[in-house]
Structure 1
Amino acid sequence: MIDPVRLGRHLHDLRSGRGLALSALAEAAGVSVSMLSAIERGEKTPTVVVLSRIADGLGLSLSRLLADLESDRVIVRRAAEQDHIAEPGGWHRTVLTPVVPGVNFEWIRTTLPAGCDAGVFPAYAPGSHEFVAVESGELRLGVGDAEYVLAAGDSVYFPADATHSYANRGQEPCVYFVAALIMRPRAKSG
Protein backbone atom coordinates (compact mmCIF):
# COMPACT_ATOMS: atom_id res chain seq x y z
CA MET A 1 0.00 0.00 0.00
CA ILE A 2 1.26 3.48 -0.78
CA ASP A 3 1.62 5.67 2.28
CA PRO A 4 -0.01 9.07 1.50
CA VAL A 5 2.57 10.98 3.57
CA ARG A 6 5.45 9.25 1.78
CA LEU A 7 3.77 9.87 -1.59
CA GLY A 8 3.31 13.54 -0.70
CA ARG A 9 6.97 13.95 0.27
CA HIS A 10 8.02 12.18 -2.91
CA LEU A 11 5.88 14.48 -5.08
CA HIS A 12 7.17 17.54 -3.24
CA ASP A 13 10.77 16.43 -3.77
CA LEU A 14 10.19 15.75 -7.48
CA ARG A 15 8.48 19.12 -7.97
CA SER A 16 11.12 21.03 -6.01
CA GLY A 17 13.94 19.21 -7.80
CA ARG A 18 12.54 20.46 -11.10
CA GLY A 19 12.28 24.02 -9.77
CA LEU A 20 8.50 24.03 -10.23
CA ALA A 21 6.21 26.15 -8.09
CA LEU A 22 3.10 24.40 -6.78
CA SER A 23 0.95 26.50 -9.14
CA ALA A 24 3.12 25.63 -12.17
CA LEU A 25 2.81 21.88 -11.60
CA ALA A 26 -0.91 22.22 -10.86
CA GLU A 27 -1.41 23.99 -14.18
CA ALA A 28 0.76 21.51 -16.11
CA ALA A 29 -1.10 18.59 -14.51
CA GLY A 30 -4.58 20.06 -14.87
CA VAL A 31 -5.36 19.76 -11.14
CA SER A 32 -6.15 22.47 -8.62
CA VAL A 33 -3.43 24.00 -6.47
CA SER A 34 -5.41 23.08 -3.35
CA MET A 35 -5.66 19.43 -4.44
CA LEU A 36 -1.94 19.22 -5.23
CA SER A 37 -1.05 20.91 -1.94
CA ALA A 38 -3.25 18.48 0.05
CA ILE A 39 -1.62 15.52 -1.74
CA GLU A 40 1.88 16.83 -1.00
CA ARG A 41 0.96 17.27 2.68
CA GLY A 42 -0.30 13.66 2.76
CA GLU A 43 -3.83 14.81 3.61
CA LYS A 44 -5.47 13.44 0.46
CA THR A 45 -4.91 10.23 -1.49
CA PRO A 46 -5.30 10.99 -5.19
CA THR A 47 -7.19 8.83 -7.65
CA VAL A 48 -5.31 7.01 -10.40
CA VAL A 49 -6.43 9.61 -12.94
CA VAL A 50 -5.17 12.51 -10.78
CA LEU A 51 -1.86 10.74 -10.16
CA SER A 52 -1.49 10.11 -13.87
CA ARG A 53 -2.08 13.82 -14.56
CA ILE A 54 0.56 14.77 -11.99
CA ALA A 55 3.00 12.30 -13.55
CA ASP A 56 2.35 13.86 -16.97
CA GLY A 57 2.90 17.32 -15.48
CA LEU A 58 6.28 16.13 -14.15
CA GLY A 59 7.15 14.49 -17.47
CA LEU A 60 7.08 10.99 -15.99
CA SER A 61 5.12 7.81 -16.52
CA LEU A 62 2.80 6.86 -13.67
CA SER A 63 4.83 3.75 -12.91
CA ARG A 64 8.05 5.83 -12.76
CA LEU A 65 6.37 8.37 -10.46
CA LEU A 66 5.36 5.62 -8.05
CA ALA A 67 8.52 3.52 -8.29
CA ASP A 68 9.76 2.37 -4.88
CA LEU A 69 6.66 3.68 -3.06
CA GLU A 70 4.75 0.42 -3.09
CA SER A 71 5.47 -1.49 0.10
CA ASP A 72 3.06 -4.37 -0.44
CA ARG A 73 1.58 -6.24 -3.41
CA VAL A 74 -1.84 -6.45 -1.73
CA ILE A 75 -3.42 -3.04 -1.32
CA VAL A 76 -6.41 -2.69 0.99
CA ARG A 77 -8.47 0.49 0.93
CA ARG A 78 -10.67 0.69 3.99
CA ALA A 79 -14.09 2.30 3.76
CA ALA A 80 -12.88 5.25 5.84
CA GLU A 81 -10.09 5.88 3.29
CA GLN A 82 -12.35 6.03 0.24
CA ASP A 83 -12.74 9.36 -1.50
CA HIS A 84 -16.29 10.70 -1.14
CA ILE A 85 -16.93 13.51 -3.59
CA ALA A 86 -20.06 15.68 -3.47
CA GLU A 87 -20.57 17.09 -6.95
CA PRO A 88 -22.49 20.23 -7.98
CA GLY A 89 -26.14 19.37 -8.59
CA GLY A 90 -26.36 17.06 -5.57
CA TRP A 91 -24.84 13.90 -6.98
CA HIS A 92 -22.21 11.93 -5.12
CA ARG A 93 -19.24 9.72 -6.10
CA THR A 94 -17.24 7.31 -3.99
CA VAL A 95 -13.93 6.09 -5.41
CA LEU A 96 -13.71 2.50 -4.17
CA THR A 97 -10.37 1.39 -5.61
CA PRO A 98 -6.93 1.87 -4.11
CA VAL A 99 -4.20 3.47 -6.20
CA VAL A 100 -2.04 0.78 -7.82
CA PRO A 101 1.17 1.86 -9.59
CA GLY A 102 0.99 1.35 -13.33
CA VAL A 103 -2.72 0.41 -13.29
CA ASN A 104 -5.12 3.06 -14.58
CA PHE A 105 -8.26 1.42 -13.24
CA GLU A 106 -10.98 2.99 -11.11
CA TRP A 107 -14.14 1.55 -9.61
CA ILE A 108 -16.63 4.23 -8.61
CA ARG A 109 -20.05 4.11 -6.92
CA THR A 110 -22.27 7.03 -7.93
CA THR A 111 -25.62 8.21 -6.59
CA LEU A 112 -27.72 10.54 -8.73
CA PRO A 113 -30.74 12.05 -6.96
CA ALA A 114 -34.10 12.12 -8.75
CA GLY A 115 -34.06 14.45 -11.77
CA CYS A 116 -30.25 14.92 -11.65
CA ASP A 117 -28.10 15.29 -14.75
CA ALA A 118 -24.39 14.75 -14.04
CA GLY A 119 -23.46 16.30 -17.38
CA VAL A 120 -21.27 15.32 -20.32
CA PHE A 121 -17.79 13.91 -19.80
CA PRO A 122 -15.07 14.27 -22.45
CA ALA A 123 -13.64 11.25 -24.24
CA TYR A 124 -10.68 9.40 -22.77
CA ALA A 125 -7.76 8.24 -24.90
CA PRO A 126 -8.29 5.40 -27.40
CA GLY A 127 -8.07 2.04 -25.69
CA SER A 128 -9.96 3.25 -22.59
CA HIS A 129 -12.99 1.29 -21.41
CA GLU A 130 -15.95 1.78 -19.08
CA PHE A 131 -18.30 -0.79 -17.62
CA VAL A 132 -21.45 0.45 -15.89
CA ALA A 133 -23.79 -1.56 -13.65
CA VAL A 134 -27.01 -0.09 -12.23
CA GLU A 135 -27.82 -1.10 -8.66
CA SER A 136 -31.09 0.81 -8.25
CA GLY A 137 -33.22 3.36 -10.08
CA GLU A 138 -32.98 4.22 -13.75
CA LEU A 139 -29.91 5.60 -15.51
CA ARG A 140 -29.80 7.34 -18.86
CA LEU A 141 -26.36 6.81 -20.31
CA GLY A 142 -25.31 8.83 -23.33
CA VAL A 143 -22.43 7.55 -25.47
CA GLY A 144 -21.64 9.79 -28.40
CA ASP A 145 -25.01 10.54 -30.06
CA ALA A 146 -26.81 7.47 -28.63
CA GLU A 147 -28.72 7.19 -25.35
CA TYR A 148 -29.33 4.01 -23.38
CA VAL A 149 -31.90 3.58 -20.60
CA LEU A 150 -30.66 1.18 -17.93
CA ALA A 151 -32.72 -0.23 -15.06
CA ALA A 152 -31.66 -1.91 -11.82
CA GLY A 153 -29.59 -4.98 -12.64
CA ASP A 154 -28.66 -3.80 -16.15
CA SER A 155 -25.04 -3.37 -17.18
CA VAL A 156 -23.27 -1.98 -20.22
CA TYR A 157 -19.79 -1.70 -21.69
CA PHE A 158 -18.57 1.07 -23.99
CA PRO A 159 -15.23 2.27 -25.33
CA ALA A 160 -14.57 5.42 -23.31
CA ASP A 161 -12.97 7.25 -26.24
CA ALA A 162 -16.33 8.94 -26.92
CA THR A 163 -18.07 11.70 -24.98
CA HIS A 164 -20.46 10.20 -22.46
CA SER A 165 -23.09 11.39 -20.01
CA TYR A 166 -25.06 10.17 -17.02
CA ALA A 167 -28.55 11.35 -15.99
CA ASN A 168 -31.42 10.26 -13.77
CA ARG A 169 -34.72 11.58 -15.10
CA GLY A 170 -36.75 9.35 -12.75
CA GLN A 171 -38.47 10.08 -9.46
CA GLU A 172 -36.17 7.87 -7.34
CA PRO A 173 -32.41 8.07 -6.73
CA CYS A 174 -30.21 6.05 -9.09
CA VAL A 175 -27.16 4.19 -7.79
CA TYR A 176 -24.67 2.77 -10.27
CA PHE A 177 -21.09 1.55 -10.46
CA VAL A 178 -18.49 2.49 -13.07
CA ALA A 179 -15.41 0.35 -13.63
CA ALA A 180 -13.05 2.37 -15.82
CA LEU A 181 -9.76 1.38 -17.42
CA ILE A 182 -8.21 4.65 -18.54
CA MET A 183 -5.17 4.53 -20.80
CA ARG A 184 -4.04 8.04 -19.86
CA PRO A 185 -5.65 11.24 -18.59
CA ARG A 186 -8.12 13.14 -20.67
CA ALA A 187 -6.67 15.80 -22.91
CA LYS A 188 -6.78 19.27 -21.40
CA SER A 189 -9.39 21.45 -23.05
CA GLY A 190 -8.62 24.86 -24.41
Structure 2
Amino acid sequence: MIDPVLLGRRLHELRASRRLALSALAKDAGVSVSMLSAIERGEKTPTVVVLSRIADGLGLSLSRLLAGLEADRVILRRAAEQEHIAEPGGWHRTVLTPVVPGVNFEWIRTTLPPGCDAGSFPAYAPGSHEFVAVESGTVHLGVGDTEYRLDAGDSLYFPADVEHSYANRGAKPCVYYVAALVMRSRAAG
Protein backbone atom coordinates (compact mmCIF):
# COMPACT_ATOMS: atom_id res chain seq x y z
CA MET A 1 0.00 0.00 0.00
CA ILE A 2 1.20 3.51 -0.75
CA ASP A 3 1.48 5.77 2.25
CA PRO A 4 -0.26 9.05 1.27
CA VAL A 5 2.12 11.11 3.44
CA LEU A 6 5.20 9.60 1.75
CA LEU A 7 3.60 10.09 -1.66
CA GLY A 8 2.90 13.72 -0.79
CA ARG A 9 6.47 14.30 0.32
CA ARG A 10 7.80 12.66 -2.85
CA LEU A 11 5.60 14.87 -5.05
CA HIS A 12 6.59 18.01 -3.17
CA GLU A 13 10.31 17.14 -3.42
CA LEU A 14 10.05 16.39 -7.15
CA ARG A 15 8.13 19.59 -7.82
CA ALA A 16 10.55 21.67 -5.73
CA SER A 17 13.61 20.12 -7.40
CA ARG A 18 12.19 21.20 -10.76
CA ARG A 19 11.42 24.68 -9.37
CA LEU A 20 7.77 24.31 -10.35
CA ALA A 21 5.10 26.31 -8.60
CA LEU A 22 2.10 24.29 -7.45
CA SER A 23 -0.02 26.07 -10.07
CA ALA A 24 2.47 25.29 -12.86
CA LEU A 25 2.49 21.56 -12.12
CA ALA A 26 -1.29 21.56 -11.72
CA LYS A 27 -1.61 23.13 -15.18
CA ASP A 28 0.93 20.74 -16.77
CA ALA A 29 -0.80 17.75 -15.17
CA GLY A 30 -4.37 18.85 -15.84
CA VAL A 31 -5.16 18.56 -12.12
CA SER A 32 -6.65 21.27 -9.89
CA VAL A 33 -4.33 23.18 -7.58
CA SER A 34 -6.47 22.21 -4.59
CA MET A 35 -6.25 18.48 -5.49
CA LEU A 36 -2.47 18.66 -5.98
CA SER A 37 -2.04 20.56 -2.71
CA ALA A 38 -4.16 18.01 -0.80
CA ILE A 39 -2.10 15.16 -2.27
CA GLU A 40 1.18 16.86 -1.31
CA ARG A 41 -0.11 17.31 2.26
CA GLY A 42 -1.00 13.59 2.39
CA GLU A 43 -4.68 14.40 2.89
CA LYS A 44 -5.94 12.81 -0.32
CA THR A 45 -5.07 9.57 -2.09
CA PRO A 46 -5.30 10.20 -5.83
CA THR A 47 -6.74 7.81 -8.40
CA VAL A 48 -4.45 6.04 -10.86
CA VAL A 49 -5.53 8.43 -13.61
CA VAL A 50 -4.70 11.50 -11.48
CA LEU A 51 -1.32 10.02 -10.50
CA SER A 52 -0.61 9.29 -14.15
CA ARG A 53 -1.37 12.91 -15.06
CA ILE A 54 0.92 14.17 -12.31
CA ALA A 55 3.70 11.84 -13.46
CA ASP A 56 3.25 13.13 -17.03
CA GLY A 57 3.35 16.71 -15.73
CA LEU A 58 6.67 15.94 -14.03
CA GLY A 59 8.03 14.18 -17.13
CA LEU A 60 8.20 10.80 -15.35
CA SER A 61 6.67 7.39 -15.80
CA LEU A 62 4.15 6.44 -13.15
CA SER A 63 6.36 3.58 -11.96
CA ARG A 64 9.31 5.97 -11.53
CA LEU A 65 7.14 8.43 -9.61
CA LEU A 66 6.01 5.68 -7.22
CA ALA A 67 9.30 3.77 -6.99
CA GLY A 68 10.03 2.77 -3.42
CA LEU A 69 6.68 3.95 -2.04
CA GLU A 70 4.89 0.62 -2.29
CA ALA A 71 5.11 -1.04 1.12
CA ASP A 72 2.89 -4.02 0.39
CA ARG A 73 1.75 -5.91 -2.70
CA VAL A 74 -1.77 -6.17 -1.33
CA ILE A 75 -3.58 -2.85 -1.43
CA LEU A 76 -6.75 -2.46 0.58
CA ARG A 77 -9.06 0.50 0.07
CA ARG A 78 -11.71 0.81 2.74
CA ALA A 79 -15.14 2.22 1.88
CA ALA A 80 -14.34 5.39 3.82
CA GLU A 81 -11.26 5.95 1.60
CA GLN A 82 -13.13 5.72 -1.71
CA GLU A 83 -13.26 8.87 -3.78
CA HIS A 84 -16.80 10.23 -4.22
CA ILE A 85 -17.29 12.71 -7.04
CA ALA A 86 -20.48 14.74 -7.47
CA GLU A 87 -20.69 15.70 -11.14
CA PRO A 88 -22.60 18.58 -12.75
CA GLY A 89 -26.13 17.51 -13.64
CA GLY A 90 -26.63 15.55 -10.41
CA TRP A 91 -24.84 12.33 -11.25
CA HIS A 92 -22.35 10.72 -8.91
CA ARG A 93 -19.23 8.56 -9.29
CA THR A 94 -17.45 6.48 -6.67
CA VAL A 95 -13.93 5.27 -7.51
CA LEU A 96 -13.79 1.82 -5.91
CA THR A 97 -10.25 0.77 -6.83
CA PRO A 98 -7.13 1.49 -4.84
CA VAL A 99 -4.15 3.14 -6.53
CA VAL A 100 -1.85 0.45 -7.90
CA PRO A 101 1.55 1.61 -9.20
CA GLY A 102 1.97 1.07 -12.92
CA VAL A 103 -1.63 -0.10 -13.44
CA ASN A 104 -4.02 2.20 -15.31
CA PHE A 105 -7.15 0.38 -14.17
CA GLU A 106 -10.16 1.90 -12.45
CA TRP A 107 -13.43 0.40 -11.27
CA ILE A 108 -16.13 3.01 -10.86
CA ARG A 109 -19.72 2.89 -9.58
CA THR A 110 -21.92 5.55 -11.18
CA THR A 111 -25.42 6.67 -10.29
CA LEU A 112 -27.39 8.66 -12.88
CA PRO A 113 -30.61 10.25 -11.64
CA PRO A 114 -33.73 10.06 -13.86
CA GLY A 115 -33.40 12.05 -17.07
CA CYS A 116 -29.67 12.70 -16.57
CA ASP A 117 -27.24 12.91 -19.47
CA ALA A 118 -23.66 12.50 -18.23
CA GLY A 119 -22.36 13.79 -21.56
CA SER A 120 -19.69 12.57 -23.95
CA PHE A 121 -16.22 11.41 -23.06
CA PRO A 122 -13.31 11.73 -25.48
CA ALA A 123 -11.59 8.74 -27.00
CA TYR A 124 -8.77 7.34 -24.88
CA ALA A 125 -5.46 6.18 -26.32
CA PRO A 126 -5.43 3.01 -28.43
CA GLY A 127 -5.37 -0.10 -26.25
CA SER A 128 -7.88 1.37 -23.75
CA HIS A 129 -10.88 -0.75 -22.75
CA GLU A 130 -14.15 -0.29 -20.86
CA PHE A 131 -16.47 -2.90 -19.43
CA VAL A 132 -19.90 -1.68 -18.29
CA ALA A 133 -22.38 -3.62 -16.12
CA VAL A 134 -25.79 -2.25 -15.10
CA GLU A 135 -26.98 -2.95 -11.55
CA SER A 136 -30.34 -1.17 -11.75
CA GLY A 137 -32.30 1.03 -14.12
CA THR A 138 -31.40 1.63 -17.75
CA VAL A 139 -28.42 3.40 -19.28
CA HIS A 140 -28.08 4.47 -22.91
CA LEU A 141 -24.42 4.01 -23.82
CA GLY A 142 -23.12 5.70 -26.94
CA VAL A 143 -20.02 4.15 -28.52
CA GLY A 144 -18.89 6.10 -31.55
CA ASP A 145 -21.97 6.52 -33.75
CA THR A 146 -23.95 3.64 -32.18
CA GLU A 147 -26.12 3.73 -29.07
CA TYR A 148 -26.83 0.70 -26.88
CA ARG A 149 -29.61 0.36 -24.31
CA LEU A 150 -28.46 -1.59 -21.25
CA ASP A 151 -30.98 -2.72 -18.63
CA ALA A 152 -30.36 -4.15 -15.15
CA GLY A 153 -28.10 -7.19 -15.45
CA ASP A 154 -26.80 -6.29 -18.93
CA SER A 155 -23.12 -5.75 -19.62
CA LEU A 156 -21.09 -4.46 -22.54
CA TYR A 157 -17.43 -4.23 -23.53
CA PHE A 158 -15.98 -1.72 -25.97
CA PRO A 159 -12.52 -0.52 -26.98
CA ALA A 160 -12.44 2.93 -25.37
CA ASP A 161 -10.42 4.55 -28.14
CA VAL A 162 -13.67 6.13 -29.47
CA GLU A 163 -15.86 8.92 -28.09
CA HIS A 164 -18.48 7.47 -25.74
CA SER A 165 -21.43 8.74 -23.69
CA TYR A 166 -23.79 7.74 -20.89
CA ALA A 167 -27.41 8.85 -20.34
CA ASN A 168 -30.39 7.79 -18.23
CA ARG A 169 -33.57 8.59 -20.16
CA GLY A 170 -35.81 6.70 -17.74
CA ALA A 171 -37.90 7.74 -14.74
CA LYS A 172 -35.82 5.74 -12.22
CA PRO A 173 -32.19 6.14 -11.12
CA CYS A 174 -29.63 4.03 -12.95
CA VAL A 175 -26.64 2.44 -11.24
CA TYR A 176 -23.86 0.95 -13.33
CA TYR A 177 -20.22 -0.06 -12.98
CA VAL A 178 -17.37 0.76 -15.33
CA ALA A 179 -14.14 -1.21 -15.27
CA ALA A 180 -11.68 0.83 -17.34
CA LEU A 181 -8.16 0.17 -18.50
CA VAL A 182 -7.02 3.54 -19.80
CA MET A 183 -3.78 3.66 -21.72
CA ARG A 184 -1.89 6.94 -21.77
CA SER A 185 1.27 7.89 -23.56
CA ARG A 186 4.02 8.57 -21.05
CA ALA A 187 7.01 10.80 -21.09
CA ALA A 188 10.33 8.98 -20.80
CA GLY A 189 11.63 8.83 -17.29
Specify the TM-score bucket, using the shorter chain as the normaliser.
over 0.9
TM-score normalised by structure 1 residue count:
0.96
Once the 2 structures are TM-superposed, how far is the Cα of residue 32 of structure 1 from its aligned partner? 0.9
- In structure 2, the residue matched to 1:56 is 56
Alignment partners' CA distance in 2, 1:122 and 1:116: 19
TM-score normalised by structure 2 residue count:
0.97
Once the 2 structures are TM-superposed, how far is the Cα of residue 43 of structure 1 from its aligned partner? 1.1
* SS at 2:109 equivalent: strand
Alignment partners' CA distance in 2, 1:27 and 1:86: 22
1:117-153, CA deviations, whole angstroms, 9 ceiling, x for partnerless residues?
0010111100000000000000000011110000000
Once the 2 structures are TM-superposed, how far is the Cα of residue 87 of structure 1 from its aligned partner? 0.7
Alignment partners' CA distance in 2, 1:4 and 1:167: 35
- In structure 2, the residue matched to 1:188 is none
Once the 2 structures are TM-superposed, how far is the Cα of residue 85 of structure 1 from its aligned partner? 0.7
Aligned partner letter, 2:41: R
Equivalent residues, number: 185
Once the 2 structures are TM-superposed, how far is the Cα of residue 91 of structure 1 from its aligned partner? 0.5
- In structure 2, the residue matched to 1:41 is 41
Alignment partners' CA distance in 1, 2:120 and 2:35: 23
Question: What are structure 2's unaligned runs of at least 5 residues?
Answer: none
Pairwise CA RMSD: 0.7
Alignment partners' CA distance in 2, 1:76 and 1:107: 14
Alignment partners' CA distance in 1, 2:60 and 2:7: 15
Alignment partners' CA distance in 1, 2:5 and 2:117: 36
* SS at 2:49 equivalent: helix
Cα pair 1:110 1:175 within 8 Å, conserved: yes
Once the 2 structures are TM-superposed, how far is the Cα of residue 184 of structure 1 from its aligned partner? 1.4
Aligned partner letter, 1:97: T
Alignment partners' CA distance in 2, 1:4 and 1:184: 23
Alignment partners' CA distance in 1, 2:160 and 2:150: 17
Structure 1 residue 108 and structure 2 residue 105: aligned?
no
Once the 2 structures are TM-superposed, how far is the Cα of residue 5 of structure 1 from its aligned partner? 1.1
- In structure 2, the residue matched to 1:119 is 119
Once the 2 structures are TM-superposed, how far is the Cα of residue 106 of structure 1 from its aligned partner? 0.1
Aligned partner letter, 1:82: Q
1:86-117, CA deviations, whole angstroms, 9 ceiling, x for partnerless residues?
11111000000000000000000000000000
User: After superposition, where does 1:160-171 map in structure 2 within 5 Å?
Assistant: 160-171=160-171
* SS at 1:93 equivalent: strand
Alignment partners' CA distance in 2, 1:98 and 1:184: 19
- In structure 2, the residue matched to 1:24 is 24
* SS at 1:6 equivalent: helix
Aligned partner letter, 2:66: L
Alignment partners' CA distance in 2, 1:117 and 1:3: 37
Once the 2 structures are TM-superposed, how far is the Cα of residue 6 of structure 1 from its aligned partner? 1.0
- In structure 2, the residue matched to 1:92 is 92
